[in-house]
Amino acid sequence: MSAATIAVEVLVWVAVLTCLICCLGIVVMKDFFERLHYMATVSTVATVALLIAVVIQQGWGQAAIKMSLIVVVLFLMNAVLTHATARAARVRELGHWQPAPDEKIEGLDQITEGRHQR
Amino acid sequence: MNVWLLGSSVLLFALVPCGIASFRGDVMERLVGLEMAGMIVTLLLVMLSEGMGRVSFYDLGLALALLSFGGGLVFARFLERWL
């Protein structure tokens, strides 16, 4: 068994195990916003591991280019979808997504101070 | 059976927690299960096409990634205001 074959097998199983653990995290976590974070690992670690495995197995050909496209789409998609979903949940809960005047948000003071200084 | 087909068979079990998440809880929590399932099935299609040695099947994964992105955004938008 060559080094490339071993590398491909390791990368495929890393991707599969990452997906399994993150899917379990979605079920185990109680809070909605905690659940959202588990999508990020799948869209970064698992997809990049599969891309490297495809490149090792087939080289930079048609498969690697298509896989790169899928990685880019999933990477960008996850960022936008996570924001949109979290925003939708907050709007459903409060009616708006901006912080309420009496709401305690960690680090919000530093952000607003930075804006005033500019 | 090569490692890609074996891995894709194991990856099918990742859809079980997504299904459980989609069948319980608030409607927004169900949406997270759906979005996660979209990503998992995209990777599953990629692994199947690599395992079967058909490069043209990669287009299925790409199409599903784009469509699940649009679908998730539409769901989030509708759940935000109207549903």
Domain boundaries, chain B: 3-81
Which of A23, A54, A67 is facing B40, going by the closest CB pair? A23
DSSP state, residue B25: S
* Confidence band for A92, pLDDT divided at 50, 70 and 90: confident
One-letter-per-residue 3-state SS of A78-111: HHHHHHHHHHHHHHHHHCCCCCCCCCCCCCHHHH
The CATH number assigned to the domain with range B3-81 reads 1.10.287
pLDDT of amino acid B15: 94
Which of A26, A50, A69 is facing B36, going by the closest CB pair? A26
Taking all residues of chain A, what is their mean pLDDT, rounded to a whole number? Answer: 87
B72, A62: Cβ pair inside 8 Å?
no
pLDDT of amino acid B61: 93
Nearest Cα to Cα of residue A53 among A65, A64, A62: A64
Q: By CA distance, what is A47's nearest residue in B?
A: B43
B35, A46: Cβ pair inside 8 Å?
no
Cβ neighbour number for residue B32 with a 10 Å cutoff? 28
Indicate whether A100 pLDDT > 80: no
Q: Is the ipTM of this complex over 0.95?
A: no
Q: By CA distance, what is B57's nearest residue in A?
A: A63
How many CA atoms lie within 13 Å of A13's alpha carbon, on the beta-carbon side? 7
pLDDT of amino acid A117: 57
Q: Does A51 touch chain B (CB under 8 A)?
A: no
Indicate whether A103 pLDDT > 80: no
Nearest Cα to Cα of residue A85 among B65, B27, B24: B27
pLDDT of amino acid B13: 94
Share of chain A above pLDDT 70, in %: 92
A61, B55: Cβ pair inside 8 Å?
yes
Q: For residue range B5-43, what is the model confidence (pLDDT) as tens digits?
A: 999 999 999 999 999 999 988 888 899 999 999 999 999
Q: For residue range B37-71, what is the model confidence (pLDDT) as tens digits?
A: 999 999 999 999 999 989 899 999 999 999 999 99
Q: Contact at 8 Å (CB) between B83 and B31?
A: no
Q: For residue range A23-79, what is the model confidence (pLDDT) as tens digits?
A: 999 999 888 888 899 999 999 999 999 999 999 998 888 999 999 999 999 999 999
Which residues have CB under 8 Å from B82's CB, separation 6+?
none
B56 CA: distance to closest CA in chain A (Å) = 8
Indicate whether A111 pLDDT > 90: no
Which residues have CB under 8 Å from A114's CB, separation 6+?
none
